[in-house]
Amino acid sequence: MAIEIGRRQFISTLGGVAVAWPLVARAQQAALPVVGFLNSASASSSEHPVQAFRDGLGEAGYVEGRNVAIEYRWAEGQIDRLPSLAADLVQRQVAVIATSGGDVSAMAAKAATSSIPIVSTIGGDPVKSGLVASFNRPGGNLTGATLFARSADKRLELLHELIPKAVIIMALFDPSDPVAALDSESLQAASKTLGLHLRIANAGTVSELEAAFETVDRDRPDGLFVGANPFFNRQRDQLIGLAARHTIPTIYPFREFPAAGGLISYGSRLADTYRQVGIYTGRILKGESPADLPVVQPTKFELVINLKTAQTLGINVPPTLLALADEVIE
């Protein structure tokens, strides 16, 4: 009898420990600082940017699940969802909000809170958009890393060098993106200097992209310039497929496009920007203020050419352009 009672007590104790273990695990998880990650895209299309963000956190000494937790919020391309997703992270009382997927994400987070630190990937000029007071002294609760640089003019020059007989260039922009107006104005001036006729096409939805390429068929421009925009990044495969189907030489803003079969790209490195956001997030978790962390501007730009796509389009890439390329995909 005594043996039976002892056995029951032992089993009861084990049961108590089994119940306690998940409670302890949850308590430890709850004790971790929580970062909110707000993105206008989807998880499936953001694997590499998220990994770059985690790499930056790691450089700052934080590893997800070990000493920091991350709450992900995805708008799935539905921009109107961003304010409610940002509000949800604020209600969750996260320690920092990291945003990506365009300035709209940063603006949604900034509108949702003036106290929680925000670190953002910024597509345009954060001073002109009102996100920060200045690059060197942001002054509020938001800082980050920007893709903003006067690279649109250079992209147009490179496209002209690739197809020197070009006369008409079509530029494709998402009109909902604040960066589009800046790039459009810049391209208008650059096209005059190069002796090119610039035509603007707008697209912010999948159907509008299809319609824009119908315009390509009708007007037959000599080349296509694709603006730097989160929507175009999400629709990368569609854009590359449409450019191939309509046999239009196209220059893109990021390496990911020619790596996936596009013709040529020139721009800053997306991975560097996301990594920097991760680094800043870690520094803020350690006690630094976003007001004192300068907005980081790109210093490295890369030219990538897909020779296989050039051959398919019947384009002979000039040796001078090949010599300038940071990467040639064959």
- Residues 21-51 have pLDDT tens digits of 444 444 444 589 999 999 998 898 888 889 9
Please tell me the least confidently modeled range out of 59-68, 146-155, 228-237, 306-315. Answer: 146-155
Residue 218: other Cβ atoms inside 10 A: 8
Q: Is residue 12 part of a domain?
A: no
Looking at the structure, tell me whether residues 156 and 44 fall in a common domain: no
Query: With bands split at pLDDT 50, 70 and 90, how would you rate the model's confidence at 179?
Result: confident
Query: With bands split at pLDDT 50, 70 and 90, how would you rate the model's confidence at 59?
Result: very high
For the segment 172-189, the average pLDDT, to the nearest whole number, is 84
What local confidence, expressed as pLDDT, does residue 19 receive?
Answer: 45
Q: Is residue 3 part of a domain?
A: no
For the segment 170-175, the average pLDDT, to the nearest whole number, is 94
What local confidence, expressed as pLDDT, does residue 12 receive?
Answer: 46
Q: Is residue 309 part of a domain?
A: yes
Say yes or no to pLDDT of 292 above 90: yes
Q: Is residue 11 part of a domain?
A: no
Q: Is residue 9 part of a domain?
A: no
What local confidence, expressed as pLDDT, does residue 115 receive?
Answer: 97
Say yes or no to pLDDT of 285 above 70: yes
Reading the block at residue 325, the tokens are 């390329």
For the segment 166-170, the average pLDDT, to the nearest whole number, is 97
Say yes or no to pLDDT of 18 above 90: no
Say yes or no to pLDDT of 157 above 90: yes
**DSSP conformation class of 294:** P
What local confidence, expressed as pLDDT, does residue 2 receive?
Answer: 44
Q: Which residues of 220-237 are buried (b: 16+ CB within 10 A; e: fewer)?
A: ebbbbbbbbbbbbbbbbe
Say whether 124 sits in a helix, a strand or coil.
coil
Q: Render pLDDT for 205-223 as a digit per residue (tens, 0 to 9).
A: 999 999 999 998 899 999 9
Looking at the structure, tell me whether residues 274 and 262 fall in a common domain: no
Residue 178 backbone dihedrals phi, psi, to 5 degrees: -60, -25
Looking at the structure, tell me whether residues 316 and 253 fall in a common domain: yes
For the segment 256-283, the average pLDDT, to the nearest whole number, is 95
Query: With bands split at pLDDT 50, 70 and 90, how would you rate the model's confidence at 110?
Result: very high
Looking at the structure, tell me whether residues 319 and 223 fall in a common domain: yes
Residue type, 310: A
Looking at the structure, tell me whether residues 110 and 227 fall in a common domain: no
What local confidence, expressed as pLDDT, does residue 14 receive?
Answer: 42
Looking at the structure, tell me whether residues 172 and 254 fall in a common domain: yes
Closest CA to 202 of 227, 223, 220: 227
Looking at the structure, tell me whether residues 40 and 112 fall in a common domain: yes
Looking at the structure, tell me whether residues 319 and 199 fall in a common domain: yes
Total number of domains constituting the chain = 2
User: CB of 112 within 8 A of CB of 90?
Assistant: yes
CATH number at residue 54: 3.40.50.2300
Q: Is residue 18 part of a domain?
A: no
Looking at the structure, tell me whether residues 305 and 158 fall in a common domain: yes
**DSSP conformation class of 291:** G
Residue 214 backbone dihedrals phi, psi, to 5 degrees: -65, -35
For the segment 264-291, the average pLDDT, to the nearest whole number, is 96
Q: Is residue 196 part of a domain?
A: yes
User: CB of 277 within 8 A of CB of 256?
Assistant: no
What local confidence, expressed as pLDDT, does residue 149 receive?
Answer: 63
Residues 6+ apart with CB under 8 A from 233: 41, 45, 254, 256
pTM: 0.83
Looking at the structure, tell me whether residues 322 and 206 fall in a common domain: yes
Say yes or no to pLDDT of 55 above 50: yes
pLDDT averaged over every residue in the chain: 89
Reading the block at residue 178, the tokens are 């604040």
Looking at the structure, tell me whether residues 181 and 116 fall in a common domain: no
Residue type, 322: L
Query: With bands split at pLDDT 50, 70 and 90, how would you rate the model's confidence at 7?
Result: very low
Give start and end residues of each alpha helix (H) in 60-102. Answer: 82-91
For the segment 160-165, the average pLDDT, to the nearest whole number, is 96
Strands (E), the chain: 34-39, 69-74, 96-100, 118-122, 142-146, 168-173, 197-202, 223-226, 250-252, 264-268, 301-306, 327-329
Query: With bands split at pLDDT 50, 70 and 90, how would you rate the model's confidence at 320?
Result: very high
Percentage of the chain beyond pLDDT 90 is 72
What local confidence, expressed as pLDDT, does residue 150 receive?
Answer: 61
Looking at the structure, tell me whether residues 248 and 132 fall in a common domain: no
Q: Which residues of 152-182 are buried (b: 16+ CB within 10 A; e: fewer)?
A: bbebbebbbbbbeebeebbbbbbeebebbeb
Q: Render pLDDT for 84-106 as a digit per residue (tens, 0 to 9).
A: 999 999 999 999 999 998 888 99
d(CA 122, CA 124): 6
Print the domain residue range for 170: 152-268+301-329
Q: Is residue 10 part of a domain?
A: no
